[in-house]
């Protein structure tokens, strides 16, 4: 069963990074292969998708666009990220390209904080943040 707008209202809309908008046209990276041509109203919606707003938020800003967001999701223009509930207990987030380094860092921080270390090395859209232990 395909999701409906009411199924994804709390999902965050995030544009996929491999698509590039040039004017009203969407291309795959730097190719000349047109994926989608946007109407002037769709350009406003596309520019409103910032990776922080939910489908419901975008629907309030641009009434009647929930179905369009689903169409873009199905066409691989954007991702609809389901809501997550943060863990109730302190946690450690390590983003590291080499898993052995991540394991070493995790072990050190957990031993420093007695297993209660809480840190966030990187936030997706805001860059590095401070470390708290």
pLDDT digits (tens, 9 = 90+) for 88-104: 777 666 666 666 666 66
Number of CB atoms found within 10 A of residue 73's CB: 19
What is the reported pTM? 0.64
pLDDT of 132: 46
Query: Residue 90 and residue 114: Cα distance in Å, rounded?
Result: 12
Query: Could you tell me whether strands 92-93 and 19-22 are parallel, antiparallel, or unpaired per DSSP bridges?
Result: unpaired
Confidence class for position 58, pLDDT limits 50, 70, 90: very high
Lowest mean pLDDT: which of 8-17, 52-61, 121-130? 121-130
Which of 60, 123, 127 lies closest to 93, judged by CA?
Answer: 123
Contacts of 66 (CB under 8 A, 6+ apart): 5, 8, 9, 55, 58, 59
pLDDT at 109: 58
- What pLDDT is stored for residue 1 in this prediction? 65
């Amino acid at each position: 069963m395909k999701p409906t707008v009411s199924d994804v209202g709390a999902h965050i809309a995030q544009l996929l990074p491999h698509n590039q908008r040039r004017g009203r046209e969407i291309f795959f990276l730097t190719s000349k292969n047109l994926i989608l041509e946007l109407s002037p109203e769709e350009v406003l919606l596309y520019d409103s998708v910032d990776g922080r707003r939910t489908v419901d938020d975008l629907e309030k800003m641009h009434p009647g666009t929930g179905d369009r967001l689903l169409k873009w999701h199905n066409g691989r223009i954007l991702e609809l990220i389901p809501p997550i509930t943060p863990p109730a207990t302190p946690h450690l987030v390590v983003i590291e390209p080499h898993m052995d380094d991540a394991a070493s860092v995790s072990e050190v921080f957990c031993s420093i904080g007695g297993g209660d270390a809480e840190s966030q090395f990187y936030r997706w859209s805001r860059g590095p943040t401070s470390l708290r232990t």
